[in-house]
Structure 1
Amino acid sequence: MRSIILDTDIGSDVDDAMALAQIMGSPDLDLLEVHTVYGDTRLRAQLARRYAALAGRDLVVVPGAAETLSGRDVWWAGHEGTLHDDLASETVSAESAPQRLVARLRERPGELDVAAIGPLTNVAEALQLEPEVARWIRHLWVMGGSFGDERSEHNFKSDDIAAQVVLSAGIPTTITGLEITQQVTIEASRLERIRAAGRLGAALGADIEQWWAYWNETWNVPHDPVAVLALSRPELFRFSEVGRVAIAVGGDSAGRSTFTPDPEGTVRIVTGVDAERVAEEITARIVAAYPADHGESDGDGS
């Protein structure tokens, strides 16, 4: 059992909500709390709380940094939370995620994993508050970057300064980049299995379909669930040796990521994936997030 904090920009790309459900359905992961980042972090936090309630869980969710360290404008799809009624009723923490992260890590140094599947602003701000965070995180699991090509991936590009701060801090880190995540897809047959998983599945299925409609597609790439699964099922992945990751800051190449092997480094990247088995495992864990004995008689998540 690994104890984990999820740091997420849930609400835009549906893959964040999928990753949250996947973690809740993972018997090998103890989800301590969720921190939100990037843009309207209170709305994102309320959405995370709603998903937890649909899975029968009373989860601590902490809004975090709304603005990026880079000053880059926040990308907002416009549909965030629109399929979920009365999100304002969801109670979220009054604390700030960077401060909360420092406090939780100080309580349990070396025991907690962090899965950062949005821009890295919260983690960077926590490091600025307390440099010991770099030693206290057991392992950092990141969805970000694109290695071996010239692309600037969204999370790193959105806050290139935060990415540079975090990935140069000496934290033991595994990064799953676009060249890996884009090998995995969720299509109609798996969507139907997700949709059948009670109220949680119905809500997530609707959000998945909304995301498909946004891009006029009938499938999506589960970037964030793939990155999180590397923690639970490492045998389905291949990994580099440790090294260092450089992040381009500013200009047209902002966020571009380059990996260089170095035995003194602390970062590794995912280099291969069993795509079909990963897609199946993601789907199975999402379905498992809704307890088999969870009643269907009311609509309040109880």
Structure 2
Amino acid sequence: MQRSLILDTDIGSDVDDAMALAQILGSPDLSLLEVHTVYGDTRLRARLARRYGVLAGRDLDVVPGLAEPLSGREVWWAGHEGTLHGDLSRETVSAGSAPERLVARLREQPGELDVAAIGPLTNLAAALALEPEAARWIRHLWVMGGSFGDDKAEHNFKSDDVAAQAVLNAGIPTTVTGLEITQQVTIGAALLERIRGAGSLGAALGADIEQWWAFWSETWNVPHDPVAVLALSRPELFTFSEVGSVSVAVGGEGAGRSTFSADPGGTVRIVTGVDAERVAEEITARIVAGGTAYAVQRGEIDGDGA
């Protein structure tokens, strides 16, 4: 059964957002309705998401969201966002705003839509401020964020601790995948070569992956966001906690630190285990599928991937 999905993303900095989008485009069990962008230059991020859709032969509806986190914290900007993609200005994106669009979509289809939030949770917090009932309309929320069982403050939660605390305490059925899980999965040279061979999408994503590796002087990366999204499609590759609550520290030196507490009355669970090798393989296979189908249609490669 296909699940209808809205993706909320800060695509363009860490390459894992682009990987997650490509993975979704290659997932037959997911129907991507819209992409919403958040954090920093959200119009540039939206155009980049739209470009990835074009490379996969998809006419994506992409809606820019809020640029500034509710926390007031300065936006972290790598500086390479979109630089490998020529003339992004020709990509048409929505003139609307992501929080308003999210509320409208959820009101139209209450209880039918999943949301994957793989950036700071600013758009979702703003949507709930506009319409608190929207918390009841989300079928399930899938979050990449936090780090549990240690003192780390993960980027998404730290960037907008105010939004993270508000969203995770709104009563939405939620699964959170933290750093202690995602960091067990890596994408290295062998998997990169497979991705690079997946038509125009694979070539573009491969270049962005290598750019990210060069940024950190590494020869591998952690696919944080694809791991969190895959928990929706392939739950048998993960283990999960019982339901409970997540608290996010707001302000001060510990801003963004996350704590999970089991509670039968809660609505949030966290991922507690991962089959790392199989998850890396499945992420790669779905990315390749997302690029290959359109490449075969265009005659870039034959049906055997050659």
The TM-score with structure 1 as length reference comes to 0.98
Q: Which residue of 2 aligns with 1:96?
A: 97
Q: Which residue of 1 aligns with 2:41?
A: 40
CA distance in 2, matches of 1:294, 1:18: 21
Q: Is the 8 A contact 1:56 1:294 kept in 2?
A: no
- Alignment-mate amino acid for residue 285 of structure 1: R
- Alignment-mate amino acid for residue 126 of structure 2: E
Q: Which residue of 1 aligns with 2:77?
A: 76
Q: State the Cα deviation string for residues 190-213 of structure 1 (Å, max 9, x = none).
A: 000000000000000000000000
CA distance in 2, matches of 1:124, 1:206: 33
Q: Which residue of 1 aligns with 2:178?
A: 177
Q: Is the 8 A contact 1:147 1:257 kept in 2?
A: yes
CA distance in 1, matches of 2:234, 2:287: 15
Q: State the Cα deviation string for residues 51-99 of structure 1 (Å, max 9, x = none).
A: 0000000000000000000000000000000000000000000000000
Q: Is the 8 A contact 1:37 1:118 kept in 2?
A: yes
Q: How far off is 1:110 after superposition?
A: 0.2
- Alignment-mate amino acid for residue 235 of structure 1: E
Q: State the Cα deviation string for residues 105-149 of structure 1 (Å, max 9, x = none).
A: 000000000000000000000000000111000000000000000
Q: How far off is 1:101 after superposition?
A: 0.1
Given the alignment of the two structures, is residue 14 of structure 1 paired with residue 44 of structure 2, yes or no? Answer: no
CA distance in 2, matches of 1:81, 1:245: 34
CA distance in 2, matches of 1:110, 1:132: 11
Q: Which residue of 1 aligns with 2:228?
A: 227
Q: How far off is 1:293 after superposition?
A: 2.5
Q: State the Cα deviation string for residues 168-199 of structure 1 (Å, max 9, x = none).
A: 00000000000000000000000000000000
- Alignment-mate amino acid for residue 245 of structure 1: V
SS in 2 for 1:179: helix
CA distance in 1, matches of 2:256, 2:208: 28
Q: Which residue of 2 aligns with 1:295?
A: 298
1:231-270 aligned within 5 A:
231-270=232-271
- Alignment-mate amino acid for residue 201 of structure 2: L
1:52-201 aligned within 5 A:
52-201=53-202
SS in 2 for 1:207: helix
Q: State the Cα deviation string for residues 223-250 of structure 1 (Å, max 9, x = none).
A: 0000000000000000000000001000
1:201-216 aligned within 5 A:
201-216=202-217
SS in 1 for 2:115: strand
Identity of aligned residues (%): 82
Q: How far off is 1:295 after superposition?
A: 1.1
CA distance in 2, matches of 1:176, 1:273: 10
CA distance in 2, matches of 1:228, 1:101: 18
Q: How far off is 1:271 after superposition?
A: 0.1
Q: Which runs of 5+ in 2 are unaligned?
A: 301-306
CA distance in 2, matches of 1:66, 1:296: 39
CA distance in 2, matches of 1:102, 1:282: 30
Q: Is the 8 A contact 1:23 1:29 kept in 2?
A: yes
- Alignment-mate amino acid for residue 151 of structure 2: E
Which consecutive segments of 4 or more residues in structure 1 shift more than 6 A?
none
Q: Is the 8 A contact 1:198 1:296 kept in 2?
A: no
Q: How far off is 1:296 after superposition?
A: 4.8
CA distance in 2, matches of 1:125, 1:60: 20
Aligned residues: 297
Q: How far off is 1:159 after superposition?
A: 0.1
CA distance in 2, matches of 1:173, 1:295: 39
CA distance in 1, matches of 2:129, 2:59: 30
- Alignment-mate amino acid for residue 218 of structure 2: E
Q: Which residue of 2 aligns with 1:300?
A: none
